Amino acid sequence: MENLEAFPVSSYIDENYYAGSKKSAKAGQMALELTQNAQIVLRKRYLVKDDAGRPTETPEELFRRVALAIAQPDALYEGPDRVQETARKFLELMTSLDFMPNSPTLMNAGRQLGQLSACFVLPVGDSIDSIFEAIKHAAMIHKSGGGTGFSFSSIRPENDKVLSTQGVASGPVSFMSVFDVATETIKQGGTRRGANMGILRVDHPDILKFITCKTDNLRMTNFNISVAVTDYFMRAVETGSDYPLINPRTGEEVEKLSARDVFDQIVQSAWKNGEPGIIFIDAMNRDNPTPKVGRIESTNPCGEQPLLAYESCNLGSINLANMYAGGHVDYERLKSVVWGVVHFLDNVIEANRYPLAKIENLTKANRKIGLGVMGFADLLIALGIPYNSEGAVATAEELMGFIQEESKAASAYLGKMRGNFPNYPGSVYDSPETSFMRHATTTTIAPTGTISIIAGCSSGIEPIFAISFVRKVLDGEELVETHPLFRKIAQERGFYSEELMKRIAQKGSIKDFAEIPEDVRRVFVVSHDVEPSWHIRIQAAFQKHTDNAVSKTVNFPFSASPEEVYQAYISAFELGCKGLTIYRDGSREAQVLNIQRKTQYPQVEPRPRPDITRGITERVNTGCGKLYVTINSDEYGFCEVFAQMGKAGGCAYSQIEATSRLISLALRSGVKVESVIKQLVGIRCPSPTWRNGEQVVSCSDGIAKVLKQHANATISTGFADQMGACPDCGGAVEHEGGCIVCRSCGFSRCN
């Protein structure tokens, strides 16, 4: 592979992307400018590391690695001389932070693994062989860094006949548990954790069991679940009619249920903890670009990418915050970036190393790509448009309409130059009006989690998460971080003060700060300031001009009623959305990533101890003797503490064991390690001693000091108590498209 060290990072993107321009980078090239958060996330999640876990590449080298690897396919179509020029353009797209590909591409391009796709769908048939083949293939995909979606609708219902054994079937929900356990054992490429989407049709006989299968937040932790609802079902909800349940083994009706009763159960479960979501499966199939190839039955884990069985998709997002110039949207720049990204994602299809031959064959036959956006909320702020306004809805439609049109033009150009996608005959594009099309789909709105942190912009099409938050750095020092546009306006208009920023950081929102001008408060709205109806209208506006689907979370306050959730689902259906994910603030208290509300103190069960933990053991000198403290962690953080004296037996030994057990119970119940330390540190006994220059005044104090030394509590936000705490750093997490994301350390999880 060639080397890109010969050319520096630059901000120039050719205006005429495919015109073969030989213009070189501008004089006075810029250095890559990353926020502190972006540097943390890259170092922790993306940069190549040695065996000791130390990064062996810089962020600049990461982008060079990716650019050169993704440029290589140009040699197949335009000759090897084109590769360096294309690599420069791809590098400029990323280092300007105008565009980021999906995480597997950033992690794996130019490396041995080479698996670049984020989204896969696998079939699950009604046989043991098919089910366990799907589990095997899912394990291979998770190991390579991808997420998987499954429809379990073909599996015969619980207690149905099994002719080969004269027994009875266990049903789809039972087999989902097997998938969940298998996923738990696979860590994606060492950097990404397995995630699944589980879908069941609303007319499956086991639908009621499926709807409530995640009522216990400690079950199915590696699954998002969604009900595939049909137009027929939604009409039955509207009219108050019954609808039939169909046994997939026989195709026969086995029972009728009240559509409203079933819909109410979906609503109640989603109101309780955000699951299940809803997939409007008929809407997805109406937009299926290759209906003669197959029907769409499932999506990827976050719901934005409908795929055929054994299909994958490659995603990437444009940073709309960078498309603002001179008081308006810079459509010339946006056009150039769209064309460049379509070229980039087309090359990803060729450069990819697929985990299965079946997936490679169908992916290359349909060549689906998913160009999306991030930084939409930042762009609205720059334009002076409130997120919850008609202006925002109009801007969303205009922007996505433009991106859709230009992505189709770029795809048509590539189709003419490189050939149409092989399944083009028989697709929706197979008409006299459309002679060329390289990709069956070009647009998807995906959650952008960590890549938006790298780009330094707001997530996807979500509102901004917080105006200010507090970061804890070394030695416990606290730094207030504020949205840069808000800081700029506050300084220009004379109401900026560090004290005000600290107060805002305790709430996240500025809606109740009377000293801030009303017009500023109107524009700088955060997610929980936005009524659910506006969330849905923004989602629908983007969906209108998106081939695939739109991933978005509709936030509800804790006080929201089930009726409000009911109306949100109805509204999403009527406005043409292809699915909906809701999250009610405070609805997952039993999870480790919980919402500790000031007025709600639910009793919780500790999470189960995993079969495998990792940790350290440290010896502490105490006045009672040598104390050996072991701290173990699971995927959520600290989960247990063991402490032993050098001698067994006696009252002191039993008290140390009791202390350790209670600490472990607290940690697995979601109690912050800082709270545990606070309760233990400073407890005195008659025999203090010294350790590493500080006094250890008791065995309990010694345990606390070991915990404090190894705790990774770098962030504390005043509103984390309301939003949920990151298990890695303690910061507030965002809920986005069925996933949680910490914008401070890059932790993400779909569950």
For the question of residue 423 being annotated catalytic, the response is no
Is residue 108 within a helix (H) or strand (E), and if so which, with residue range?
helix 103-108
Strand spans (E) along 234-385: 242-246, 253-258, 277-280, 298-299, 306-307, 311-319, 324-325, 328-329, 369-374
CB 279 within 8 A of CB 573: no
Q: CB neighbours of 197 closer than 8 A, spacing ≥ 6?
A: 147, 148, 149, 150, 223, 224, 225, 226, 298, 299, 300, 301, 302, 303
Active-site residue, selected from the candidate residues 85, 108, 217, 302: 302
For the question of residue 685 being annotated catalytic, the response is no
CA angle at residue 552 from 551 to 556, to 5 degrees? Answer: 155
Question: In angstroms, rounded to a whole number, what is the distance separating the alpha carbons of residues 41 and 275?
Answer: 28
Report residue 192 CA to chain centroid gap.
Answer: 11
Question: In angstroms, rounded to a whole number, what is the distance separating the alpha carbons of residues 447 and 733?
Answer: 14
Q: What type of residue is 415?
A: G
Active-site residue, selected from the candidate residues 224, 300, 322, 632: 300
- Between β-strands 689-691 and 694-696, what pairing exists: parallel, antiparallel or unpaired? antiparallel
- What's the Cα-to-Cα distance from 436 to each of 189, 418, 462, 682, rounded to whole Å? 37, 10, 34, 74
CB 308 within 8 A of CB 358: no
Q: CB neighbours of 380 closer than 8 A, spacing ≥ 6?
A: 386, 387, 392, 395, 523
Q: Is 102 helix (H, G, I), strand (E, B) or coil?
A: coil
Question: In angstroms, rounded to a whole number, what is the distance separating the alpha carbons of residues 89 and 73?
Answer: 14
For the question of residue 302 being annotated catalytic, the response is yes
Q: CB neighbours of 265 closer than 8 A, spacing ≥ 6?
A: 208, 211, 212
Active-site residue, selected from the candidate residues 85, 92, 275, 304: 304
How many CB atoms are located within 10 Å of the residue 152 CB? 26
Catalytic residue list: 300, 302, 304
